[in-house]
């Protein structure tokens, strides 16, 4: 279905919503009908979904399997370097066409009944199409060109591959806008290599994780490692940058100021303990590869893409919904193809900062579950999203929830509420 199709009314439209975007009712993380409607209105709507990295499919026939929302997708490099993406679903009886995460293929054959597809997703053969010994088979007027999995439009940007099912989605560069596009280009300024990957299952609705990524206010309160070792504090310079339509964001943290910083201790907020020391302090060594003094940048593209730079640790993250109260988080760690051995070793060491057991981000793996559990009987209650005001504009502070409000502004627009 594309953005020009007539879509059924979203279940969210049947509810009374508070005005503005400073209140979010908890039922949005719990409603089964809403989760199904999101597949149509959000993931199959006029948005661009992250699929993979170009470097993961460098040659003709190279492919990766991925998801947009709950839809399984095959992304493959075709002839003349073109990137194709189509639904990983056989048009015959609905089985997966491809089971592997990645590989190289001349074409794809469904294991169930051996229907075959080329690298663009076109159906090219049907086993026993003309029957056996003059009996059975498909009708004479069966048209293979009219049968096949749904195909996506694809675009590449800075080595990232995005896809959409919508004919009305704007070109990707217009979609991310003039504020966020350059901040993607800043990190992905030259060719990259994959240096690690894993998948982290999380016990919460996908929207809670995307809120968390955009919640610049929580970072130095929940993550004590950040504050203790002065990776980032709200007293450091930086800000929260919003796309023109508020759908996408980037938060940036500058290097901390020299000298004592007692703001957290004076406020009695999870005070940092100066007695803590790292056995290997080199994990916190930061090299300014970009020449702008930004020590940390977290960026999101609606609906489910995240690009991170924490010191010299680079990664992309992809959120995959798994029902109302579950999701998978796919992490892919990156280095530049021309890294020196010393820089590559530093990146790998700093991978310990993030991930399921990361010194910084292990709390993010459980806090979404805390919300899912805490609000289980509060469907009609609302969260409060007022830090930094009621708007969705760029702000020169990270003590704000402007990017969270931008997420809900975009979500509500697509869900028509």
Chain segment 234-271, per-residue pLDDT in tens: 667 789 999 999 999 999 988 766 655 666 666 666 55
At residue 4, the pLDDT reads: 47
Q: How big is the chain by its Cα radius of gyration, in Å?
A: 23
Confirm if 254 and 295 have CB atoms less than 8 A apart: yes
Pairing, β 192-202 against β 238-242: unpaired
Helix (H, G, I), strand (E, B) or coil at 74: strand
Question: What pLDDT shows up at residue 1?
Answer: 37
Give the tens place of pLDDT for each residue, 268-310.
Answer: 665 555 667 788 888 888 899 999 999 999 999 999 999 999 9
DSSP letters for 126-161: -TTTT-BTTB----TT--GGG----EEEEEEETTEE
Q: How far apart are the first and last CA of the chain?
A: 20
**Main-chain phi, psi angles of 163, to 5 degrees:** -140, 155
Give the residue-averaged pLDDT of 144-170: 97
What's the average model confidence in pLDDT over 353-362?
A: 83
For tokens 């004590």, the residue is 224
pLDDT of the residue at 19: 86
3-state SS, residue 267: helix
Residue ranges of E strands in 243-312: 249-254, 294-301, 305-310
Overall residue count recorded for the chain in this entry: 417
Residue 226 pLDDT more than 80? no
Per-residue DSSP letter, 206: H
Q: Which residues pair with 53 in a beta bridge?
A: 160
Please tell me the distance from the alpha carbon of residue 220 to that of residue 74, in angstroms, as a whole number.
Answer: 39
Q: Which domains does the chain have, with CATH numbers?
A: 49-130+137-155 (2.102.10.10), 178-415 (3.90.380.10)
The reported pLDDT for the residue numbered 417 is 86
- The whole-number pLDDT of residue 3 equals 45
| pLDDT at residue 228 greater than cutoff 80 | no
Nearest residue to 238 (alpha-carbon basis) of 118, 349, 394, 367: 394
pLDDT higher than 80, residue 11? no
**pLDDT class of 16 with cuts at 50, 70, 90:** confident
Q: Residue 235 has what pLDDT?
A: 67
The set of residues, in sequence order, having a beta carbon less than 8 Å from that of 25 and lying 6+ positions away, is 15, 17, 18, 379, 380, 381, 382
d(CA 228, CA 275) in angstroms, rounded, equals 10
Contact 35, 324 (CB under 8 A): yes
Pairing of strands 160-164, 151-157: antiparallel
Enumerate residues 6+ apart whose C-beta is below 8 A from 242: 179, 248, 249, 392, 393, 394, 402, 403, 406
SS3 372: helix
User: What residues form DSSP beta bridges with 109?
Assistant: 116
Q: Beta strand pairing status for 49-53 and 62-68?
A: unpaired
**pLDDT, position 18:** 82
Percentage of residues of the chain with pLDDT beyond 90: 76
Whether 77 has a pLDDT exceeding 50, the answer reads yes
**CA distance linking residue 199 with residue 375, whole number of Å:** 26
Helix (H, G, I), strand (E, B) or coil at 382: strand
Higher local confidence (pLDDT), 359 or 261: 359
DSSP string, 162-175: EEES-SSPPPHHHH
3-state class (DSSP) for residue 394: coil
Q: Side-chain half-sphere of 270: how many Cα atoms within 13 Å?
A: 12
- What pLDDT score does 95 carry? 98
């Amino acid at each position: 279905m594309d953005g020009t199709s007539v879509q059924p009314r979203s279940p969210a439209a049947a509810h009374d919503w508070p005005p503005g975007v400073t209140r979010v009712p908890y039922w949005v993380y719990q409603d089964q009908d809403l989760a199904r409607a999101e597949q149509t209105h959000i993931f199959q709507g006029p948005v661009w979904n992250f699929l993979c990295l170009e470097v993961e499919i460098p040659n003709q026939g190279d492919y990766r399997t991925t998801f947009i929302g709950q839809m399984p997708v095959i992304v493959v490099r075709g002839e003349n370097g073109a990137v194709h993406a189509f639904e990983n679903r056989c048009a015959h009886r609905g089985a997966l066409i491809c089971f592997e995460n990645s590989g190289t293929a001349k074409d794809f054959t469904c294991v169930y009944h051996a229907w075959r597809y080329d690298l663009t997703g076109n159906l090219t053969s049907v086993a026993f199409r003309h029957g056996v010994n003059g009996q059975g088979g498909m009708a004479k007027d069966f048209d293979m060109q009219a049968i096949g999995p749904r195909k996506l439009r694809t675009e590449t940007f800075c080595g990232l591959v995005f896809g959409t099912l919508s004919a009305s989605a704007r070109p990707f560069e217009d979609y991310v806008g003039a504020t966020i596009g350059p901040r993607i280009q800043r990190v992905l300024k030259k060719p990259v290599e994959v240096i690690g990957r894993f998948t982290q299952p999380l016990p919460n609705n996908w929207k809670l994780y995307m809120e968390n990524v955009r919640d610049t206010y929580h970072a130095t309160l929940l993550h004590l490692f950040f504050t203790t070792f002065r990776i980032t504090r709200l007293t450091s310079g930086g800000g929260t940058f919003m796309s023109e339509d508020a759908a996408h964001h980037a938060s940036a943290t500058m290097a901390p100021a020299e000298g004592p910083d007692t703001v957290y201790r004076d406020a009695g907020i999870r005070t940092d303990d100066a007695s803590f020391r790292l056995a290997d302090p080199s994990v916190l060594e930061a090299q300014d590869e970009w020449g702008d003094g930004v020590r940390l940048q977290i960026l999101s593209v609606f609906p489910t893409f995240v690009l991170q730079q924490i010191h010299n640790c680079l990664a992309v993250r992809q959120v995959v919904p798994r029902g109302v109260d579950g999701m998978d988080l796919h992490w892919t760690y990156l280095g530049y193809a021309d890294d020196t051995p010393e820089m590559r070793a530093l990146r790998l060491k700093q991978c310990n900062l993030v991930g399921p057991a990361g010194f910084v981000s292990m709390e993010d793996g459980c806090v979404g579950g805390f919300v899912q559990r805490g609000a289980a009987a509060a469907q009609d209650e609302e969260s409060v999203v007022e830090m930094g005001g009621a708007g969705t504009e760029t702000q020169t502070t990270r003590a704000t929830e402007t990017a969270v409000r931008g997420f809900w502004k975009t979500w509500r627009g697509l869900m028509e509420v």
